[in-house]
Amino acid sequence: MFESKAGVFLIAGLGFFALAFLVMAVLPWAIYAGEPELTVEQVAASGIVPEFVDLAERYPEQFKRAFGTVSTQTFAEALRFGHEVYVADACWHCHSQFVRPVSNEDLRWGPVSTALEYQNALQRPVLFGTRRVGPDLIREGGRRSNDWHVAHFWQPTNVVPTSVMPPYRWFFDEQGYPNKRGMSIITYVQWLGSWVKEYPYYHGEGPPSLPMAATTQSSVAHAGAGSTGGGPP
């Protein structure tokens, strides 16, 4: 049997499968098995994104009910809950979080993703995704304002006329303001990509040496100063 054409193809197929398993599964695991994975608290301690402060200033009553005050602890809480919402509401089904080295994806969403970007608890389970119904979001943070995201979740076609995304009205309270669920997923989305040194100028459209997101609560609060209150979308 193994001397026949079918036998050769069978052996070759099994061999390529074994090689692919070693290269795609065993080798990466062996390389990164000993690497520490950041907890949500460690991620939050590395810097509060300005958009979280902006939410507190735009929706003070709703923010106070949901989180109290701005701190690394409440930022971690919002990130964790926002990630849970992102997974539970299947946002990953249409929005991947992985820039692949194919089809000129780096021209659309920036440099190809690296392993370091996924070495934290907020990337478990991994959300690489398989579909491109919507844009890749691995570096979405800072690209659009909180107002844009609020309007987008309320009625996607208001900001993207060709969108097929449904409204997410359960992200809002009875008065149309973002509730805890809505503010959490906005915080999570606005955090994605904040670890990149070019944040939020991923494509070089801003200053050449812009520092990363503020690393202390006081500096972030200063960055968020001057925001005005907002109403429902």
Q: Please, which residues bridge with residue 151 across strands?
A: none
Distance CA 34, CA 191 (A): 26
Distance CA 136, CA 143 (A): 12
Residue 59: band (very low, low, confident or very high) from pLDDT cuts 50, 70, 90:
very high
* Torsion sign, CA atoms 210, 214, 220, 224: positive
The CATH label, of 1.10.760.10, 3.90.1170.30, 3.40.50.970, 1.10.4190.10, for the domain at 38-224 is 1.10.760.10
Mean pLDDT across the stretch 106-125? Answer: 88
Whether the per-residue pLDDT at 232 is higher than 50: the answer is no
pLDDT at residue 150 in the model: 98
Distance CA 149, CA 165 (A): 13
Best-predicted range by mean pLDDT among 146-155, 190-199, 213-222? Answer: 146-155
Distance CA 14, CA 226 (A): 63
**pLDDT tens sequence across 166-196:** 999 999 999 999 999 999 999 999 999 998 8
Mean pLDDT across the stretch 16-26? Answer: 89
Residue 225: band (very low, low, confident or very high) from pLDDT cuts 50, 70, 90:
very low
The domain ranges of the chain are 1-34, 38-224
pLDDT at residue 8 in the model: 83
* Torsion sign, CA atoms 3, 5, 7, 13: positive
